[in-house]
Amino acid sequence: MYLTDEKVVVLGAAGAIGSNLAQTLLASGTTSNVGMYDPFAKGLEGTAEELYHCGFPNANVTWSDDIGEALTGASYIISSGGAPRKEGMTREDLLRDNAQIAKQLGLDIKKYCPELKFGIIIFNPADITGLTALVHSGLEPSRIATLAALDSTRLQTKLSQHFNVLQSKVTGCRTYGGHGEQMAVFKGGIKIDGVSLEGVLNGQTANGIGMSAEEWADVQAHTRGGGARIIGLRGRSSFQSPAQQSVFMLRGVLGESYEWPSGAYVNTNGMNHIMMGMPATLSSDGIRYTMPEGTQDDLNALKESYEHVVALRDEVIGAGILPPLSEWGASNPHLA
Amino acid sequence: MYLTDEKVVVLGAAGAIGSNLAQTLLASGTTSNVGMYDPFAKGLEGTAEELYHCGFPNANVTWSDDIGEALTGASYIISSGGAPRKEGMTREDLLRDNAQIAKQLGLDIKKYCPELKFGIIIFNPADITGLTALVHSGLEPSRIATLAALDSTRLQTKLSQHFNVLQSKVTGCRTYGGHGEQMAVFKGGIKIDGVSLEGVLNGQTANGIGMSAEEWADVQAHTRGGGARIIGLRGRSSFQSPAQQSVFMLRGVLGESYEWPSGAYVNTNGMNHIMMGMPATLSSDGIRYTMPEGTQDDLNALKESYEHVVALRDEVIGAGILPPLSEWGASNPHLA
């Protein structure tokens, strides 16, 4: 009935993403055993009550505002527990605050659930929070991943709307590298109803519809602005899609196939000591990435995106939240 | 992969319950085909975008702020599309507003999807909105039900907390009649870890724990206040549990077992021309209710709850939103 009965801990469970995550884990039959943590005890209890009122068969839902109690016995965690961006806060303030939270998360993992099978980090900037948690957790790099799919599903959505086909008829949509303005939106590999996007950009049609270079540039820009667009429409940032895609990722670790990019620790091919969106397979062994294939433009964009994430990482090192690269092995022997 | 590919329309899809419903229908593999309606087009588009970004495999998600377009082709509907209670509004104002919305829903069903297989009405007061929609829809009474499970799951939750057992170890929790202060919280049939509640109230223990008559009275009061308690804890009314339980109901119609009370059209045993929470089975034939079994106290409470719902119904007849009982057959020949 459930893919696992092992404990999956949701961090930030009183929030919009976290409470949706907890429900979706149960509703989708992913785990019967959901632990919830949030420092906001009252809201956490409210979320827990709602889950109890759902009446999930054979569910074991627990909650605590004590991080040690919550993490003990966890086989898996999904953390949406970052600080929200507040009025007057700069991007740098948010980066520093959330990197600090990620550092503490890593230390808590090391202390309370060092045998963790898999952790998915989804609070922004996820490339940095995931990396910071990994360094301080002491876990193997295959055991921590970040959510990196939403830009790709946004790209798929926009193309399906342009060509007026069902979303699943658009395949191979992939953005890699950092999440944010500097993401690399890949063109190579995309097919619409079986017709390659490159062919369409060269004059073919898919479902009787063509696409100009300008239109493709617009689609790429639309993809980069996908998150802001949700805020504009709903008056709040996206919460359903991050929760749902995180559950799909966990299901990948539990044996289903997962086809979207994931944020992985990358340390090859001239891209080193970084976490960013890559082609990846998920399994009981955790995450394993491969190098993306794409056009030369695509690969150049990836390199640029990498440089951008490096700059963010170095900012966090400068702030003392991550140690200098040469000292990572002291925090995490797997990164030595 | 999905229980059905037939169109399930969610009304009120831009709201908290409706947007959760749409996601849960897909996440739980209930239907691949979700139509969404809301008069608030911008929020509706935002919800739709979020669902697209979830990347559900082989999903067909459509949305419209035109009720005719939304309902056309619907095999099933779930409506959370009532007006919220606003500052300064009396209970009577809300009753009238939502009964009016339910009347229009019934007329829209008659016009756009008269072959509807099943409709689940969940906006408050659901006993009245469900009844009103049924009368005006022209559908067989077996084709419309209301959500009536949450009081029962709240009762189960509270007992599981008192006896410190997993929720599913508490069985037979049932509240019948109207939803609200006047619900009938049944005692007969409840078991905790296999021990009957009546036995416990007579001095036995379950999981080593007893319960006094006063404590049972507190549990009943707690159950009646379950909805208000969520508002107190979360700062908003419950939305996850109504969405989830509605999906469980639909899964019952699609062939799974559904064990909670449902709101059904009742017209036997001295309880006539009313909709209220009853023991019921759901199947492809729709809803079929039976008479509840319980202690004499339980049955007396049911009768009182019935009288309360009758009074609400008569208020709506008085307001001209429902026709007089003698004229129901003109709106719906199945109720003649």
Can you spell out the DSSP letters for A133-178? HHHHH---GGGEEEE--HHHHHHHHHHHHHHT--GGGEE---EEBS
Domain assignment present for residue B332? The answer is: no
Query: Of residues A99 and A92, which shows the higher confidence score?
Result: A99
Domain assignment present for residue B265? The answer is: yes
Q: Which of B45, B55, B239 sits opposite A156 (nearest CB)?
A: B55
B89-118 average pLDDT score: 94
Domain that holds residue B243: 148-325
Residue with tokens 């619907």: B74
Cβ-count burial A11-20 (b if 16+ within 10 Å, e if not): bbbbbbbbbb
**Domain CATH code at residue A120:** 3.40.50.720
Asked if the Cβ–Cβ distance from A54 to B240 is below 8 Å, we say yes
Residue A283: CB atoms within 10 A of its CB come to 16
**Domain CATH code at residue B214:** 3.90.110.10
Convert the pLDDT of each residue in A115-170 to its tens digit.
Answer: 999 999 999 999 999 999 999 999 999 999 999 999 999 999 999 999 999 999 99
Measured between CA atoms, the residue of chain A closest to residue B62 is A166
pLDDT computed for residue B179 by the predictor: 81
Residues B230 and B121 in one domain: no
Longest dimension (CA), chain A: 60
A-chain residues within 8 Å CB-CB of B46? 230, 232-234
B83: Cα separation from own chain's centroid: 16
Please state, in angstroms and as integers, the Cα–Cα distance from residue A116 to each residue in A82, A108, B88, following that order: 20, 11, 52
Closest CA to B8 of B26, B33, B29: B33
pLDDT computed for residue A225 by the predictor: 87
B-chain residues within 8 Å CB-CB of A47? 234, 240
Domain assignment present for residue A20? The answer is: yes
Report the amino acid identity of residue A63. W
Convert the pLDDT of each residue in B122-171 to its tens digit.
Answer: 999 999 999 999 999 999 999 999 999 999 999 999 999 999 999 999 99
pLDDT computed for residue B332 by the predictor: 98
A-chain residues within 8 Å CB-CB of B240? 19-20, 23, 47, 50-51, 53-54
pLDDT computed for residue A182 by the predictor: 80
A184-191 average pLDDT score: 93
Asked if the Cβ–Cβ distance from A54 to B233 is below 8 Å, we say no
Residue B248 has pLDDT above 80, yes or no: yes
Instruction: Give the model's confidence band at B220: pLDDT under 50 very low, under 70 low, under 90 confident, else very high.
Output: very high
Domain assignment present for residue B333? The answer is: no
Asked if the Cβ–Cβ distance from A241 to B29 is below 8 Å, we say no
In angstroms, the CA A192 to CA A205 distance is 9
Instruction: Give the model's confidence band at A202: pLDDT under 50 very low, under 70 low, under 90 confident, else very high.
Output: very high
Convert the pLDDT of each residue in B176-208 to its tens digit.
Answer: 999 877 889 999 899 999 999 999 999 999 999
Please state, in angstroms and as integers, the Cα–Cα distance from residue A83 to each residue in A77, A276, B153, B260, following that order: 18, 21, 33, 39
Q: What is the CA radius of gyration of chain A?
A: 20
Convert the pLDDT of each residue in A203-252 to its tens digit.
Answer: 999 999 999 999 999 999 999 888 888 999 999 999 999 999 999 999 99
In B, residues 106-125, which contact A (CB 8 Å cutoff)?
A: none
Asked if the Cβ–Cβ distance from A241 to B54 is below 8 Å, we say yes
Averaged pLDDT of chain B: 95
pLDDT computed for residue A177 by the predictor: 95
Asked if the Cβ–Cβ distance from A59 to B168 is below 8 Å, we say yes
Residues B165 and B270 in one domain: yes
Residues B58 and B184 in one domain: no
Residues B270 and B153 in one domain: yes
> End of a domain among B120, B147, B174?
B147
Longest dimension (CA), chain B: 60
pLDDT computed for residue B93 by the predictor: 84
Residues B109 and B161 in one domain: no
Residues B200 and B73 in one domain: no
Q: Which of A20, A58, A230 sits opposite B49 (nearest CB)?
A: A230
Domain assignment present for residue A13? The answer is: yes
How far A171 CA sits from the closest chain B CA (Å)?
11
Q: Is A86 on the interface with B (CB under 8 A)?
A: no
Cis (ω within 30 of 0) for the bond into B333?
A: no
Domain assignment present for residue A44? The answer is: yes
Q: Which of A46, A166, A245 sits opposite B54 (nearest CB)?
A: A245
In angstroms, the CA A158 to CA A167 distance is 9
Residue A299 phi, psi dihedral angles, 5° rounding: -70, -35
Residues B76 and B191 in one domain: no
How far A322 CA sits from the closest chain B CA (Å)?
32
Q: What's the token pair of residue B290? A: 């039976």
Contact present, A135 and A328 (Cβ < 8 Å):
yes
pLDDT computed for residue A305 by the predictor: 95
Query: Of residues B224 and B22, which shows the higher confidence score?
Result: B22
Asked if the Cβ–Cβ distance from B23 to A20 is below 8 Å, we say yes
Residues B142 and B155 in one domain: no
Averaged pLDDT of chain A: 95
Residue A84 has pLDDT above 90, yes or no: no
Q: What's the token pair of residue A277? A: 């969106």
Residues B155 and B247 in one domain: yes
Measured between CA atoms, the residue of chain A closest to residue B235 is A43
Residue A87 has pLDDT above 90, yes or no: no
Number of domains in chain A: 1
Size of interface A-B (CB pairs under 8 A): 154
> End of a domain among B147, B170, B191?
B147
Q: What's the token pair of residue B322? A: 């429902």
Residues B260 and B321 in one domain: yes
Domain assignment present for residue B115? The answer is: yes
Residues B26 and B155 in one domain: no
Asked if the Cβ–Cβ distance from A52 to B28 is below 8 Å, we say no
Measured between CA atoms, the residue of chain B closest to residue A244 is B54
pLDDT computed for residue A192 by the predictor: 98
Residue A259 has pLDDT above 80, yes or no: yes
pLDDT computed for residue A62 by the predictor: 98
Q: What is the 3-state secondary structure (H, E, C) of A229-281?
A: HHHHHHCCCCCHHHHHHHHHHHHHHCCCCCCCCEEEEEEECCEEEEEEEECEE
Domain assignment present for residue B335? The answer is: no
Q: Which of B28, B57, B245 sits opposite A168 (nearest CB)?
A: B57
Measured between CA atoms, the residue of chain B closest to residue A230 is B46
Residues B292 and B207 in one domain: yes
How far A303 CA sits from the closest chain B CA (Å)?
26
B-chain residues within 8 Å CB-CB of A159? none
Cis (ω within 30 of 0) for the bond into B39?
A: no
Residue with tokens 């993992």: A109
Q: Which of A51, A149, A233 sits opposite B55 (nearest CB)?
A: A149
Q: Which of A23, A27, A157 sits opposite B53 (nearest CB)?
A: A157
ipTM of the complex: 0.96
pLDDT computed for residue A92 by the predictor: 81
Q: Which of B20, B23, B149 sits opposite A55 (nearest CB)?
A: B149
Q: Is B221 on the interface with A (CB under 8 A)?
A: no
Q: Is A228 on the interface with B (CB under 8 A)?
A: no
Percent of chain B whose predicted confidence (pLDDT) is above 90:
90
Please state, in angstroms and as integers, the Cα–Cα distance from residue A332 to each residue in A113, A119, A125, A136, A285, following that order: 15, 16, 21, 6, 19
> End of a domain among B123, B147, B171?
B147
